[in-house]
Structure 1
Amino acid sequence: MKLWKGATFAFIVCGAALSVLLTRNMAAIGQFKPRTKYPHASSASSRSPSPSISSSRTAPPSTPWSRTMGGPQRRPRQTRRTKRARRPKPCSLREMEVTVSELGLGYESDETLLFRYCSGKCTGHRRNYDITMDHMRRTGFRKKGRKDKVSNGPCCRPIAYEEDISFLDNRSRYHTIQDVSAQACGCV
């Protein structure tokens, strides 16, 4: 009976060692792609193999330990984006260069202007009203049967506009428009 136990133990140890050896060799030549918790983080391994890996397929290493000692190296995985990187930007003034036609006011002109606009989140400016409206939107309005669209927080909006914008349209007519480009932004 002791002989069978010893033989079973030896087979288990040899099987585990063989499994580890095969997994390492297959991963080194790119045939085995281990599953990860975040599949998008290993997108580098789903691309075509690098030249160093493909060259190891054609020419076998000169020594059995060359893969581990100084053979082809695997690329480091991409790291996951942190929550800090995804944090929304605060309400601020942004700008872009557009033509007058792109403003959507019905004018046809190829003149360009620097359009300033407000964008961002206003989470730090929430007041009791905003918190109450958020709660009522989630619970209270449903119970009362109301389906009104309500804002549950302050919005990033212009609090001041630049002076009038004057331009010449494609038919050589002069136009002046007001309250188009923001000068300052705030949470309203």
Structure 2
Amino acid sequence: MGQGTPDMKTHAMASGLRITLTKTELQALLSLARSGADQLEAARHYSILPKRQEAVAPDIIQGLERGLASVQWKQAEAKARREQPKREAERRAAREHHARIDGYAVWAMLGDWTDISDDPDRRQWADMFHPDTSPREQGEIRRNVWRVFISKGSAALDDLLILSGDCTTTADRDEIEQLARRIIANHQE
């Protein structure tokens, strides 16, 4: 017989037997049932089962198949729930970028941005899909680019300095540093 400890649990009832199987035990039982049904079909004229039992064999196999599919679905759902925080952290990391450049904190967010400034010579970027965003007529729109924020100091020490940021022209992460350095250099002039 098998070498592992069986996890199968049985519970006798007045009209039958309730069985709890592990996924491995269910797969083994399903394979045995299919094999037995195939053998019965091949030796139909030498039937060893009463006709009534032979008639329920396909229903038993179908029930085991549904049970196995249900177990696999529940396992997939449980795995997805366990991995959801990790996937969300990976998605967030893919949409955010943090760096320090020349003492300035640089933070960038990947998204779709629109210019909401009333002054066409000054850009003011806002999240295009935020419910409170009202893009100006003929305002510039940049899709799948980095919105760069730059600050220095601390609000707690009253020396917080926030530079006017901008958006990159592509989704290339290297562009964040180039844009941030240009903004910092323009501020220091």
Return the TM-score normalized by structure 1: 0.27
Query: Which is strand-richer, 1 or 2?
Result: 2
